[in-house]
Structure 1
Amino acid sequence: MAREQAGILAAPFDPHASDEARARGILAFVYQHATVLFEGGHTYLLLDPANRAKDIVWVKPTVAGVEEVCVMRRVGERR
């Protein structure tokens, strides 16, 4: 996901340099399935880990990166 700006689609991305990517306006979510939600003029992401081992996280992209809105803890058996 990236902030709208000239040339952003051609910007190189290094998944091991997340701070530099964020400074250029690229927000990377690795190993996650994401559902994008729009509410009240804001964008939210529902992040569900692909391996089902971690908790589901609801975040809001901000200028500084992302703000964690809610965490849905997995309880019981994890498959």
Structure 2
Amino acid sequence: MARVRLIEVGGGAQERLPRAGTKQALLVGMLSQISGVTIRELVEETGWKANTVHAALSTLRTSGRQIAIEHAEGVKRYRIMN
């Protein structure tokens, strides 16, 4: 069974949708999948380095989005809950 950790940050900025066609929009779209996505998959799709992907996830959290992290079979999968 996968272990799920939900990270919630309150008091963040008001949520905005990213502009269509941007890497930020790609990131949000991939994270919105029910199955979630790995950091490696995000790196491959965006062309960003892993630390940049982590920074983008942090920015999403501070903007009020809830990010779930699922640990299954030694792999972390991230997805947006709201």
Normalised-by-shorter TM-score class = under 0.3
TM-score normalized with structure 2 length = 0.25
TM-score, with length taken from structure 1:
0.26
Question: Which structure is higher in helix share?
Answer: 2
Which structure carries more strand by proportion? 1
Higher normalized contact order (CA 8 Å, seq sep 6+, divided by chain length): 2
